[in-house]
Structures are given as structure tokens and as C-alpha cells.
């Protein structure tokens, strides 16, 4: 009986430690994700309309690469802010590309359409498409530690900044200025 109590206590402690670790890893702020100052990882994924997108396609323009999922409340909450910022910053040569965390094109496209968002997102490949990596593979290489995560990628394809958590208008404005020297008023 005493052994069962010890095992139960160890299990409870392990669960509590896992919960604390998960909470710490998803706290908002700059993250130890994809190394700031390092080139963005190579990838080859399709968007929700079937068009192939690679890292090389991003070169020559600054990008917000936002990792999200339709089931993630903070992700859903920040998408309209990101869409507005990208629209207003288009003349400053800043684009927005979403990277969906593990959902197929129909799910991601359906969610974006239902919310009235006109955003491009990279999605998991259809099971019929052999040779394309999964978004999970890319996220692993990016070392994305939570959802949402936003990477600020410069025109040379180098990660200038990374932020884990829901972006507020003021945080986004500050990060845009820090990463890209772009002023944006929310």
C-alpha cells in the first residue's frame, strides 16, 4: 500500500512539474526559439490553395512568420491585428505569412474564411503528396516553443526577432521598430 502512495505522489509531482514547465515555455515574450541572428530554416510547404512556398520565396522582403492553429484561442485573437498590420505595412515592404501547426488545408482555409480573414497560411501536406515535409517538421527545426509564435524575418532571410504569445498592438509596434526599424501606429 505504501508503494502505491509513493508512486501516486511521484506521478502527481511529475504532472505538476510538467504543467509548470508548459506554462513557462508559453509565457509571452521574446523566446529562445529559432536563433535570432540565424538564417530562417529551409522549408518546402504548400499554402491553403496548393501553391508551393519555400524559404527562398521570402528573400528580398521582410516578413512576419506567424505560427498558429485554429484551435488556439490566442492565435485566433491576434490574427485580425496581424492582418491589419500587414495591410498597413505593405508599402514598407513587410509581408505576413502564417504557418499552421498541423492542420490540413481545408481546416485552415475554412477557419480563415469563416472569420473573414484574407491571410496566406502554410499547411500540412495532403497524404497523397509524398516528399513534402510536414509543418511539424518545420516547427521542430524552428524550435517554436508555444502558440502563437511570431518570427520577424529580414529581407536576407535572417530571423531578427522571435516572440512567443499573443501579440498586443503595442508589443507588435515595438517589435516592428526593433526588428525592422519600421514605425507602425496601432
Whole-number pLDDT of residue 128: 67
CA distance 183 to 186: 10
In the chain, the domains with their CATH numbers are 30-180 (3.40.30.10)
Exposed, middle or buried by CB within 10 Å (0-12, 13-18, 19+), for 54? exposed
Whole-number pLDDT of residue 18: 33
- List pLDDT tens digits, range 140-163: 999 998 999 999 999 999 999 999
- List pLDDT tens digits, range 53-107: 999 999 999 999 999 999 999 999 999 999 999 999 999 999 999 999 999 999 9
Spatial contact of 10 and 16, defined as CB atoms under 8 Å apart: no
Phi-psi region of 93 (alpha: psi -120 to 50; beta: other; left: phi over 0): left
- List pLDDT tens digits, range 1-24: 545 544 444 444 333 333 333 333
Amino acid at each position: 500500500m505504501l508503494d502505491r502512495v509513493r508512486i501516486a505522489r511521484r506521478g502527481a509531482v511529475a504532472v505538476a512539474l510538467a504543467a509548470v514547465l508548459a506554462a513557462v515555455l508559453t509565457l509571452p515574450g521574446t523566446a529562445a526559439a529559432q536563433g535570432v541572428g540565424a538564417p530562417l530554416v529551409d522549408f518546402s510547404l504548400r499554402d491553403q490553395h496548393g501553391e508551393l512556398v519555400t524559404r527562398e520565396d521570402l528573400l528580398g522582403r521582410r516578413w512576419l512568420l506567424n505560427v498558429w492553429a485554429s484551435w488556439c484561442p490566442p492565435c485566433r485573437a491576434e490574427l485580425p491585428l496581424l492582418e491589419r498590420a500587414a495591410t498597413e505595412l505593405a508599402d514598407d515592404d513587410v509581408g505576413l505569412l502564417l504557418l499552421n501547426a498541423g492542420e490540413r488545408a481545408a481546416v485552415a482555409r475554412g477557419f480563415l474564411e469563416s472569420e473573414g480573414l484574407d491571410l496566406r497560411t502554410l499547411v500540412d501536406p495532403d497524404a497523397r503528396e509524398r516528399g513534402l515535409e510536414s509543418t511539424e517538421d518545420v516547427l521542430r527545426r524552428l524550435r517554436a516553443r508555444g502558440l502563437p509564435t511570431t518570427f520577424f524575418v529580414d529581407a536576407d532571410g535572417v530571423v531578427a526577432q522571435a516572440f512567443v504569445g499573443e501579440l498586443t498592438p503595442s508589443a507588435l509596434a515595438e517589435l516592428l521598430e526593433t526588428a525592422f526599424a519600421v514605425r507602425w501606429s496601432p
